[in-house]
Amino acid sequence: MRPSAAGFTLLELVVTVAIVSVLAMVAVPMTQMTMQRLRESELRSGLQQIRGALDAYKKAADAGLIERRLDSSGYPPNLDVLAQGVVNIKSPNAQRLYFLRRVPRDPFATDSSQTAAQTWGKRAYASPPDAPAEGEDVYDIYSRSDRLGLNGIAYREW
């Protein structure tokens, strides 16, 4: 009698590799979907933060806390002002008003050499909503990505 050889047969190895490859084919798209959902969540959060800060800046300007020209809209001249702060002209010791801790980055921006503020598309108060254009102020922001969200709406329309 011969002792039985320990190990796997070729058939067992082929079946195991086939099962692992099927599991990998299912896992990769799920991982990609999860990453896209995460980036969409970051986009939604960034848009809410910046838009809230733009509205707070406008309210402060309308309340006379920020120095502004008579012909200006009251919105900030750029996004960096929201994080750098502006002088409160009603404060006796020239305290600064801050509207953001930092400007969030567009998660769908591909150019890593740009600053966070440069990753967003900006719409001036004077530009129409269907053709946003930059101008003297920042009234609204949008993502510059041409991709569609999981909901079927383009990211630039969020």
Model pLDDT for residues 30-88, shown as the tens digit of each residue: 888 899 999 999 999 999 999 999 999 999 999 989 988 888 889 999 999 999 999 99
**Cβ(19)–Cβ(26) below 8 Å:** no
pLDDT at residue 27, as a whole number? 80
Q: Which domain holds residue 131?
A: 17-157
Count of domains observed in the chain: 1
Name the band, by pLDDT with cuts 50, 70 and 90, for residue 102.
very high
Asked if the structure places residue 11 within a domain, the reply is no
The yes-or-no verdict on residue 1 having pLDDT over 70 is no
Q: What is the pTM of this model?
A: 0.79
Model pLDDT for residues 42-53, shown as the tens digit of each residue: 999 999 999 999
First and final C-alpha spacing in the chain: 75
What is the C-alpha separation between 106 and 43, in angstroms, rounded? 6
Asked if the structure places residue 5 within a domain, the reply is no
pLDDT at residue 72, as a whole number? 86
Asked if the structure places residue 10 within a domain, the reply is no
